Chains A and B, each alone.
Chain A
């Protein structure tokens, strides 16, 4: 286990608005187990809250109070806006600037959308490449939500400007010139039925092809918008250091993952000395997120390096593959499973870690 000092330095880094160097899942799992570090986080939160008192107080403008109260009077407030500031469901666009203080692009969540954004994040100059995390938003950093919204506004502005300049732009004049032969062809076709039929067929093919492409494009855009919105929602939640460090440090369920001692695959541990058993071992913790969403975090070491493993959940009557992860060159792997319906995970169940290619059960633990 890593030293508490190291973990605390990472936690402070996180609380100060930067993504830590260690994977977020490691820190959360440590917090889940360590009440001293949880207490440390709460205390550091309080102490850092006093730091501004060390400053010479500055008088705000006298009308600021009035402006705030006027804005509040116009705002429906917490009752009708959204129940969770970290995770809005309706007013997503309005809340894009809310609490987006740290961008955690991905913590090895096994979903394509996270992978896409992770790749995008890795291209940014401030990306923490090693962990695939993005630091506090910088000048050029990837800022899901805020930048997307700005880009959206820019796009809208561009659209309006384009409309205005359309009639007189050089492009429009060029288009007119290119359409001229087509007009002449149509005029000729009106006089010759054979040519008209051919042109009609071509037109149908072209228009049909375009329509199919347009439909495909618009459905892709819609899907992209939906995934972006959903991703932004996730980010909103993941992004908040307070949320993660203060609100979510106690898992709803947990499991110790240990090597299998018996069963159809035989033991996976090695007895190096009497009583000294080595083999894969790790921890899992289920955290409540928001609404019905939960996150199951798993970290295990002692596996084969650079190998793929499957995380599965087994009850007396069910077997569910939750996802696959790949270990690093030290044989350490972690996985974050996002459960849309976290209630389905609340029943005690065995978590299985299985070698992906052989199906061999290498570690297990009771999630309860």
Chain B
């Protein structure tokens, strides 16, 4: 999520162009979020080919269902991330193959220098908030959100009760919400 600004408007406008089947708008959306989604998909699937497939499926879903998106029900980024994460977890659970090596180089992903600076600053804010979470909260988010484990699986992995995982997920999300709100990440 970008800080509440004209950035959000731009996302809305891109979505409206996609609704009108403007392929270049899909390209612009990819330029803006392709790297973010690819990073997430790769983090969950741990395979380059699967991550590519997930990102492609995500953008094709947007292409087909842009009309169903409504700005008052969440940001474009939240929507894209939710679709991408769901696809990635489906891939993760369907396939059980060895991972392929992949370069982990940071990227500017086709953004203008100004956009890149803004994006890096926003990402740094999120990273700071995430890193300031107590270790026990980060551990459950890692397991459940980024590794795609169920909460029961996470409880087993972390050797804590299932109920504790649930409450830690809630508390972690609430802490992140407060931290990001304080930094202006609210709609």
**A residues apposed to B, CB below 8 Å:** 5, 8-10, 12-13, 15-18, 42-61, 64-65, 67-69, 71-73, 75, 77-79, 81-86, 97-101, 135-139, 146, 241-242, 246-247
Find out whether the CB atom of A54 lies under 8 angstroms from the CB atom of B26.
no
Find out whether the CB atom of A44 lies under 8 angstroms from the CB atom of B126.
no
Find out whether the CB atom of A85 lies under 8 angstroms from the CB atom of B64.
yes
Tell me which residues across on chain A come within 8 A of B39, comparing CB atoms.
52, 55-58
Beyond A59-B106, A59-B109, 19 additional pairs, beta carbon < 8 A: A16-B169, A17-B85, A17-B148, A49-B1, A50-B77, A53-B36, A57-B35, A57-B36, A57-B107, A58-B35, A58-B104, A61-B52, A65-B31, A68-B55, A84-B65, A84-B68, A85-B61, A85-B68, A137-B90
With CB as the reference atom, state the residue of chain A lying closest to B35.
A57
- Cα–Cα, bound, A42→B89 (Å): 22
Find out whether the CB atom of A68 lies under 8 angstroms from the CB atom of B30.
yes
Find out whether the CB atom of A64 lies under 8 angstroms from the CB atom of B82.
no
Tell me which residues across on chain A come within 8 A of B141, comparing CB atoms.
51
Find out whether the CB atom of B64 lies under 8 angstroms from the CB atom of A43.
no
B61-112 interface (Cβ within 8 A of A)? 61, 63-68, 70, 73-75, 77-83, 85-86, 89-90, 93-94, 96, 102-107, 109-110
With CB as the reference atom, state the residue of chain B lying closest to A72.
B63
Report which of A47, A58, A97 forms a contact with B38, defined as CB distance below 8 A.
Answer: A58
Max chain A Cβ within 10 angstroms of own Cβ: one of B27, B34, B64, B177:
B64
**A64-B55, A78-B66 known; A49+B77 contact, CB < 8 A:** yes
Find out whether the CB atom of B107 lies under 8 angstroms from the CB atom of A16.
no
Tell me which residues across on chain A come within 8 A of B21, comparing CB atoms.
77-79
* Contact flags B123-154 to A (C-beta < 8 A → 1, else 0): 10011011100000000010011101011000
With CB as the reference atom, state the residue of chain A lying closest to B86.
A101
Report which of A10, A65, A71, A78 forms a contact with B19, defined as CB distance below 8 A.
Answer: A78
Find out whether the CB atom of B169 lies under 8 angstroms from the CB atom of A9.
yes
Find out whether the CB atom of B75 lies under 8 angstroms from the CB atom of A51.
no
**A42-B73, A78-B65 known; A47+B177 contact, CB < 8 A:** yes
For the residues of B in contact with A, the DSSP-based class is helix
- Cα–Cα, bound, A85→B43 (Å): 26
Q: Could you pull out 22 A-B pairs where Cβ atoms are within 8 angstroms?
A: A5-B167, A5-B170, A12-B166, A13-B151, A13-B166, A18-B151, A42-B74, A46-B1, A47-B177, A50-B77, A50-B126, A50-B180, A52-B40, A54-B123, A54-B127, A56-B39, A57-B36, A58-B39, A58-B105, A60-B38, A78-B63, A247-B73
Find out whether the CB atom of A139 lies under 8 angstroms from the CB atom of B93.
yes
Tell me which residues across on chain A come within 8 A of B173, comparing CB atoms.
12, 44, 47-48
Question: Does B7 count as interface, using CB distance less than 8 angstroms?
Answer: no
Report which of A54, A72, A77, A136 forms a contact with B93, defined as CB distance below 8 A.
Answer: A136
Tell me which residues across on chain B come within 8 A of A59, comparing CB atoms.
35, 38, 103, 105-107, 109
